[in-house]
Chain A
Amino acid sequence: MEIPQKLKEYIDNNRGSLPPITDPDEPLQIDSLGLIRLVAFLESDLGYRVEDEELIAENFATLRRLGELLATKTPTAPTAEAKASAQEGIPTFSAKRET
């Protein structure tokens, strides 16, 4: 499974000071909150739907594992609503701010 260029760039840009990944079996070294943002990026920006059952850290451990996960999927158009959530990087509640 070919990793989409946008995804490879996203991962390389979200590993702190670590250099870009060259080995598909190299651990991504993205912490748990980073992985949540990665899921949001996959769903909102790339249009992949990650099933609840697939939300285990092992599926996101290396580029190879991630590629295997995405190989089972067909991306659809990203939704505008979800896009906002991923960009802000914080949970998007529909609630109004307290006054």
Chain B
Amino acid sequence: MKTDVLIIGGGPGGAATAMFLVREGIKPVILEQEEFPRYHIGESLTGEGGQVLRRLGFEGEMTKREHPVKHGVRVFGTTGQNSWYVPVSARDKEWNLSFSTTWQVRRSDFDTMMLKEAETRGATVMRGTATKPLLADDGAVRGVTVRWPDGKSEDIETQIVLDCSGQATFLANQRVTGPKYVGSYDKQVAFFSQVTGAVRGPGISGEDAKDNTLIFYAKKFHWAWFIPIDGDVVSVGMVTPRADFLAKKQTPEEFFRNELYDINPEVRKRIPEMNLVEKVHVIPNYSYQVRGFCGKGFICIGDAHRFIDPIFSFGLTVTMREAEFAAPLVREYLEGKRRNGDNPFAEHQVFCEKGIDNLEDMIDLFWEQPFAFATFVYHRYPDQLTDAFAGRIYPTEHQPSPAVVAFRKMLKRTREYDQDVYSVPIGSRFHPERAALWEPNSPVATTEQWMGAR
């Protein structure tokens, strides 16, 4: 089988990529191994994530489907007595700031809507699992081997593979990309489920809006989230260091039920009874960064190359924004441009890296110096931080902003962008700056060892 563009993964990254490609006149094939609808975590969009959906023409459909409307994020401090609030915001062409809204989504519904719509608009969706990349003599990706549900395998030849496989990081695991580095938030475990009967805000807009995201901060690396996903159900999750979980010797559900209220006094007020309507899911070691995630015949999008920390809900937004950025480049590639040099998408790669690096500096400062961070949000750089929280993080969006510059100064960090796409990134816990975070008894001493032989 042959197609110009093969997208691996039919989640929102793959579906958004397909819809932006259709706008460029390209009809891709999407390969998805699971039957939709299926459960997935990552239920909150930031402001710019909502804008991507509006540009794709989904505003009416999102309203019709009654996805909860998010006006902002409220973060409760340790005692639960106080909170700070960041509104969802937008910028117009003149960069004037305005308050805006975005959505919370039940991923099984949202992802199905996105994938079906991609198909309606011209993409071909096929059930199957990518098992192996096909490489040309010069290392370019020229397709993948696919295993169909009946067990038979087939090679699909393409001009370009777009890896939207999420945390499965297909091309990275197949060593097509540069190394996949363990991130600095790899020692936490996220436990999450869904509850009914939760107490939402009393308002219809602003800080008390009923469908806002709530974050309950406990202490470094201990926190919980509260994300309404429909009229009845709220997604609730808790993040703790893995060592705390292992020490208790409980099942994930026991641990979740026993520990959630201890995160913050506000949790019990918001979730008076733990009526779980979904099993307790667990994701350990979720933090990683793939180097060299673009190259001849391939681009990795969203979680397929990097995930830092779920704290501020950037996942869906980043993956859909990267989809939008990549689509015109894919068209140019198919038109025969960008075929010279080692990496036809080198600029795109640095552009995406810079955006997520800005996020990483923000998240790192939040964890390392919460008081300074909150002072920045509250007092020093409120506008610049609404930009970052909305997902306006890219070089074309007045970034790095004075707030990000201040983060770096406080983290004593400089960011350099050269041609070396294999060096240990700052976000890796093996970076010298992270030495203090190393686990004393880790069985793995180096990222190279963790990676295995290349």
- Using a CB–CB cutoff of 8 Å, the interface residues on chain A facing chain B are 31-36, 39-40, 43, 52-53, 55-57, 85-86, 90-98
Known: A52-B409, A93-B97. A36 touches B382 (CB 8 A): no
CA distance A97 to B97 in the complex (A): 10
Is B82 close to A, CB under 8 A? yes
Residues of A within 8 A of B378 (CB): 33, 36, 40, 91
Could you tell me if B371 and A31 are in contact, using CB atoms closer than 8 angstroms? no
Complexed CA–CA distance, A63 and B99 (Å): 39
Shortest Cβ distance from B96 into chain A, in angstroms? 8
16 A-B pairs whose Cβ atoms sit less than 8 Å apart in the complex = A31-B77, A31-B78, A32-B371, A33-B82, A33-B84, A33-B378, A35-B371, A36-B374, A52-B409, A55-B375, A91-B86, A93-B383, A94-B97, A94-B382, A95-B97, A96-B97
Any chain A CB within 8 A of the CB of B406?
yes
B135 within 8 A of A: no
Are the C-beta atoms of B99 and A56 separated by less than 8 Å?
Answer: no
Asked whether, in the complex, the Cβ of A39 is within 8 Å of the Cβ of B87, the reply is no
B379 touches A40 (CB 8 A): yes
Q: How far is the CB of A49 from chain B (nearest CB, A)?
A: 11
* Distance to closest chain A CB from B48 (angstroms): 15
Give the 10 A-B residue pairs with the shortest CB-CB distance, closest first.
A33-B82, A55-B372, A95-B97, A98-B99, A91-B382, A40-B379, A36-B378, A57-B371, A36-B375, A91-B378
Residues on A with C-beta less than 8 A from B167 are: none
**Which residues of the partner chain B approach A86 to less than 8 Å between Cβ atoms?**
379
Interface size on B, residues (CB 8 A): 35
**Please, which residue of chain A has its CB at the minimum distance from the CB of B86?**
A91
Is B89 part of the contact surface with A, judged by Cβ < 8 Å? yes
Q: How far is the CA of A90 from the CA of B86 in the complex (A)?
A: 10
- Chain B residues near A34 (CB-CB < 8 A): 82
Q: Indicate if the CB atoms of B410 and A98 lie closer than 8 Å.
A: no
Q: B401 near A: Cβ within 8 Å? A: no
Known: A36-B378, A91-B86. 9 other contacts (CB 8 A): A31-B79, A33-B374, A36-B84, A52-B409, A55-B375, A56-B372, A91-B84, A91-B382, A95-B87
User: CB distance A32 to B82 under 8 Å?
Assistant: yes
Contact, CB under 8 Å: B89 / A91: no
Indicate if the CB atoms of A94 and B379 lie closer than 8 Å: no
* Number of interchain pairs (Cβ within 8 Å): 86
Given A33-B374, A55-B371, A95 and B409 touching (CB < 8 A)?
no
Please tell me if the beta carbons of B79 and A98 are within 8 angstroms of each other in the complex. Answer: no
Contact residue among A32, A52, A55 (Cβ-Cβ distance under 8 Å from B78): A32
Contact string against A for B residues 358-381, beta-carbon threshold 8 Å, 1 for contact and 0 otherwise? 000000000001111011111110
Kindly provide the distance from the CB of B93 to the nearest chain A CB, expressed in whole angstroms: 16
Question: Within 8 Å CB of A96, what residues of B?
Answer: 97-99
Assess the B372–A95 pair: CB atoms within 8 A: no
> In the complex, A85→B386 CA distance in Å?
16
Answer whether A93 and B374 are a contact pair too, CB < 8 Å, given A31-B81, A33-B82: no
Q: Which residues of B contact A97 (CB under 8 A)?
A: 99
Are the C-beta atoms of A56 and B81 separated by less than 8 Å?
A: no
Give Cα A39–Cα B374 distance, bound, in whole angstroms: 11
**Chain A nearest CB, measured from B434 CB (Å):** 20
In the complex, whether B159 has a CB less than 8 A from a CB of chain A is no
**In the complex, what distance in Å separates the CA atom of A91 from the CA atom of B382?**
7
Contact of B379 among A31, A56, A57, A91 (CB under 8 A): A91
Chain B hits for A35, CB < 8 A: 371, 375
B99 lies within 8 A of A55 (CB):
no
Scoring B369, B380, B409 by chain A CB atoms within 10 A of each residue's CB, the highest score goes to B380
A35 vs B375: C-alpha distance when bound (angstroms): 9
Cα-based distance from A92 to B383 in the complex (angstroms): 8
Closest to B99 in A: A98
Q: Complex Cα distance A53/B84, Å?
A: 21
Give A59's nearest chain B residue, CB to CB.
B371
Could you tell me the distance in whole angstroms from the C-beta of A44 to the nearest C-beta in chain B?
9
- Nearest CB of chain B from residue A39's CB, rounded to whole Å: 5
- Write out the residue numbers on chain A whose beta carbons fall within 8 Å of the beta carbon of B375: 35-36, 39, 55
B85 within 8 Å of A (CB atoms): yes
Would you list which residues of chain B between 33 and 92 have a CB under 8 Å from chain A? 71, 77-79, 81-87, 89
Q: A52 is contacted by which of B81, B370, B374, B406 (Cβ under 8 Å)?
A: B406
Chain B: CB-nearest residue to A92? B382
CB distance from B393 to the nearest CB of A (A): 18
